[in-house]
Amino acid sequence: MLQMAGRCILLTLFYIECLIGFEMISEIEAFLLCETPQAWIEQALHHPEELLIDHANCEKKAAGTALTLMFRYAEKEDLQQKMSRLAREELRHFEQVTAIMKKRGIRYRQLSASEYAKRLHQHARVEEPGRLIDTLIIGAFIEARSCERFYRLIPHLDDELGKFYQSLLKSEARHFQDYLKLAQQYSKEPVEERVAFFAEQERLAVLTADEKFRFHSGVAE
Ligand SMILES: [Fe+2]
Ligand SMILES: [Fe+2]
């Protein structure tokens, strides 16, 4: 009886988790100007090794970006706290992806980066405070796109990977919100215009063909 009640609670918690994930995904889909192309989803399913290796890279890079911001803006208290938590979570995700890779016999190796992040960062302003605001907005787009890709991949994945990606939705969606809130908080002007500009750049980055398949690439040629 007690065991059954325990199982019911676990199942309810799982459904609540899914609902939270689905609610956040509609906010993210409204934020992004386009869906990930179906051709990218198909390439991801044909490149399971590259998908996981590059996913691990992305988690590491996300932690690195958060730490860079912490060193660059030591006087900004909210940024310090939010980026510290974010960096810890991204490194935890890195450990989780690499543990799944190890289980599957996939060796971690160096992979070249896709053009996606460069395509966004090339438009960031160089003078402060524009530099900070743009970096935060770009961070919001990268997190939002990661979240959307996890969500789109879930129905096609095996149980273990599907559950793992489901578990990532909530934290990646919160990272997206944190970046966006910080951008507004540290900007003296409304950020909507800048967000709209990067939304268009992000759409172009996703719809431009890339040489190789990567977690954030466009469709590989
Ligand atoms: Fe992550
Ligand atoms: Fe994240």
pLDDT of 24? 84
Residue 181 · residue 137 · CB < 8 Å: no
Task: Report CA(54)–ligand 2 centroid distance (Å).
Answer: 14
**Cα gap 210→181, rounded to integer Å:** 31
DSSP conformational letter for 220: B
Helices (H), 32-155: 38-46, 48-72, 77-103, 116-121, 130-153
Bridge partner list, 220: 210
Task: Report CA(216)–ligand 1 centroid distance (Å).
Answer: 13
pLDDT in tens, 12-52: 545 555 555 667 899 999 999 999 999 999 999 999 999 99
Residue 70 · residue 83 · CB < 8 Å: yes
- Ligand lying nearest the CA atom of residue 65: 2
Task: Report CA(50)–ligand 1 centroid distance (Å).
Answer: 17
Bridge partner list, 210: 220
Task: Report CA(89)–ligand 1 centroid distance (Å).
Answer: 6
Provide the pLDDT confidence category of residue 121 given band limits of 50, 70 and 90.
very high
- Ligand lying nearest the CA atom of residue 175: 2
pLDDT of 2? 54
**Residue 185 corresponds to which amino acid?**
Q
Could you please report the per-residue DSSP string of 52-80?
A: HHHHHHHHHHHHHHHHHHHHHTTT-HHHH
Q: What is the pTM of this model?
A: 0.91
Task: Report CA(200)–ligand 1 centroid distance (Å).
Answer: 24
pLDDT of 9? 53
Q: DSSP 3-state assignment of 111? A: coil
**Cα gap 125→135, rounded to integer Å:** 9
Task: Report CA(5)–ligand 1 centroid distance (Å).
Answer: 32
pLDDT in tens, 175-200: 999 999 999 999 999 999 999 999 99
Task: Report CA(42)–ligand 1 centroid distance (Å).
Answer: 22
For residues 161-184, average pLDDT: 96
Task: Report CA(180)–ligand 2 centroid distance (Å).
Answer: 13
Q: Which domains does the chain have, with CATH numbers?
A: 2-207 (1.20.1260.10)
**Cα gap 143→178, rounded to integer Å:** 10
By the 10 Å C-beta count (0-12 exposed, 13-18 middle, 19+ buried), 135 is classed as: buried
pLDDT in tens, 63-99: 999 999 999 999 999 999 999 999 999 999 999 999 9
Average pLDDT along the chain: 93
- Ligand lying nearest the CA atom of residue 86: 2
Task: Report CA(1)–ligand 1 centroid distance (Å).
Answer: 38
